[in-house]
Amino acid sequence: MRLHARSLFAVGAACALAVALSSCGAPTSGSTDSLVLADAYELGGYNPVAGYGAAGEAKMYDGLLRLTGGPGLSGFAPALATALPTPNADATVWTAPLRTGVRFSDGSAFDAADVVATYRAILDPASASAARSSFSMIERVEAVDPTSVRFTLRHPYAAFPTKLLIGIVPAESVATPGPATASTLNTAPIGTGPYRLVGLEPTRAVFEANEDYWGGAPAVQRLTLLYVPDDNTRAQRMAAGELDGTTLPPLLAETFGARASMSVRANTSADWRGISMPAGDPVAGHPAVRLALNYAVDRQAMIDNILGGHGRPAYTPLPEVYGDAHNPAVTFAFDRARAERILDEAGWRVGPDGIRAKDGVRAKFTLMYNSTDTLRRDLALAFVSDARRVGVEVDPEALSWDRIEPRIDTAGILLGGGSEPYDPDTQAYATLHSPAADPGASSPYDNASRHRDPAIDALLEQARRSTDPAIRAAAYRDVQSRYGQDPSHVFLVHLDHTYVVKDSAWTTSGPILEPHTHGVTWGPWWSLQTWTRS
């Protein structure tokens, strides 16, 4: 749930290759076979064992499966597997056949041993992988033979295909145990994907098409990715014609709507923004305060005034795109009078200065947000204003992530989620399930409110372990019903991700439901390797 997912095209390598030296001049856009894109995220740290590309977006790597896109939830198709994996009767054993004749970018051959080594490295405590908890259902993985692998799970898990999107690395690259963040894969990726890194500077990564790619060489032969963290600077460079595309906050993106030869794209996502309400805080953790603030926030005003209409109200992590698993009855309609009644009835009385108090405790808590994210800032300040109107004082603090993380248990955070949204389990489990007994077994941002509800836990476990779609959907609806009675967060909005692109003759595959990651890895470019000329 950490909110600074990096662009997944680039790696933190030194600009040491000879070819890199020829790419260090000023970038230009408009070439018939290349693109120049600007992103807000730093270049570096792209090792699948550390969690890079868990949603299948890594262009230097392939997973066993890939996403197919299209409206609604994306489906899955074979990638390094030759067919979708076959589960046994209770979904505890999954077997996948593998492609032959595939080679990594270092020339070595791909086979089952590489799949086994990749997943074992993710699960190895020595790797200290941030992704380890996401794969905790895997008991063991083994090669049946060089062209097939078998995953044995600790319990039935219907959503297991979502765990087969992450990139596969050569067994040799993870042969020596050690921290994933120290691996050479972070700076020198070795994958089977459609693109290869050919050069990198601190603010620029250059990629070229893998001419030997098993799926056919991409028509877009060269990609230059620029690191431009400031929103306004990216907008200026886009307006100046330096870029073929970029990601921008909604209101800034809309300023390009009338420009000739440029288009604004808004793609639906399962990405949410909301407020964690830490259970350990006497105010934010009070059930009446949490419930009242859910009614006190004007979500539609946030969508209209901050998102420029590019979003939908969020009441739980599960929006309508999840079909039968979505519970439309669970909402918190904007009702300031109701919020005030809830607080009054719980004994939170308004003081002379308009701020409430109960048993000598002032209705005040801190809300942290990342200092570099203008959208989070604006949502945080809108929340602060709405809370103040019902007598709750929220003190906003703009901080870096390294200063936010140590205070997760004691202060609210303007969070985002939806990193792996291609099943209700991966969308909701980490956010709503009680914190793990072992803090090291999960991300510190999982259930940042630290709220515990055994009934929700039981329903989430039932849903992830059942193989019956109807039982799963009913359990998720019940999760939301239970949550609505005692919310642990104040979910605000589900975002549309907004992009500006220079018009061209490329034919793309269309949009996909996007995860929390919202850089140029996604948007119009999520399937870059499939583009063709009109």
pLDDT in tens, 397-454: 999 999 999 999 999 999 999 999 999 999 999 999 998 766 666 788 999 999 999 9
Instruction: Please report which residue ranges of 185-274 form alpha helices under DSSP H.
Output: 231-239, 250-254
pLDDT for 41: 87
Structure-model confidence comparison of residues 31 and 374, the more confident one:
374
pLDDT of residue 441: 64
**How far is the C-alpha of 483 from the C-alpha of 453, rounded, in Å?**
9
Residues of the chain with pLDDT > 70, as a percent, come to 93
**pLDDT, position 350:** 98
520 backbone dihedrals φ, ψ, rounded to 5°: -75, 5
The per-residue pLDDT for 43 is: 87
Query: Which pLDDT value is given to residue 128?
Result: 93
Contacts from 392-395 at CB under 8 Å and sequence distance 24+?
392/283, 392/289, 392/292, 392/293, 392/296, 392/343, 392/355, 392/356, 392/363, 392/364, 392/365, 393/355, 393/362, 393/363, 393/364, 393/365, 394/364, 394/365, 394/366, 394/367, 395/364, 395/365, 395/366, 395/367
**Residue-wise pLDDT tens digits, 199-258:** 888 899 999 999 999 999 999 999 999 999 999 999 999 999 999 999 999 999 999 999
Q: Is the pLDDT of residue 518 over 90?
A: no
> What average pLDDT does this structure show over 468-482?
97
What is the predicted pLDDT for the residue at 440?
A: 62
If we measure between CA atoms, which residue out of 279, 366, 270 comes closest to residue 320?
A: 270
513/344 Cα distance (integer angstroms): 41
Strand ranges for 100-250 from DSSP E: 138-145, 148-153, 195-201, 204-209, 222-227, 245-247
Average pLDDT score over residue span 356-382: 96
In the block, tokens 């197919």 appear at 68
Integer Cα distance of 129 and 408 in angstroms: 20
C-beta separation of 467 from 93 below 8 A: no
Per-residue model confidence (pLDDT) at position 312: 97
- pLDDT at site 425: 97
Distance CA 417, CA 359 (A): 35
Instruction: With a cut of 50, say whether residue 22 has pLDDT above it.
Output: no
Which of the residue ranges 21-25, 60-64, 181-185, 271-275 would you say has the lowest mean pLDDT? 21-25
pLDDT tens per residue across span 67-87: 999 889 999 999 999 999 999
Residue 510, pLDDT score:
87
Mean pLDDT in residue range 9-33: 40
Q: Is pLDDT of 20 > 50?
A: no
> Is residue 24 over pLDDT 90?
no
pLDDT reported for residue 244: 97
pTM: 0.90
Band (19; pLDDT cuts 50, 70, 90): very low
Predicted confidence at residue 10, as pLDDT, reads: 36
Least confident of 19-23, 163-167, 375-379, 458-462: 19-23
pLDDT at 4 over 70: no
Q: What is the mean pLDDT of residues 135-161?
A: 97
Give the pLDDT of residue 39.
Answer: 94
Mean model confidence pLDDT for the chain: 92
> How many H-runs (helices) and E-runs (strands) does the chain carry?
12, 22
Give the pLDDT confidence score for residue 330 in this predicted structure: 98
From residue 358, alpha-carbon distances to 72, 197, 392 in Å are 46, 59, 12
CB 41 within 8 A of CB 12: no
pLDDT reading at 162 higher than 60: yes
Model pLDDT, residue 31: 57
Q: What is the 3-state secondary structure (H, E, C) of 449-501?
A: CCCCCHHHHHHHHHHHHCCCHHHHHHHHHHHHHHHHHCCCEEEEEEEEEEEEE
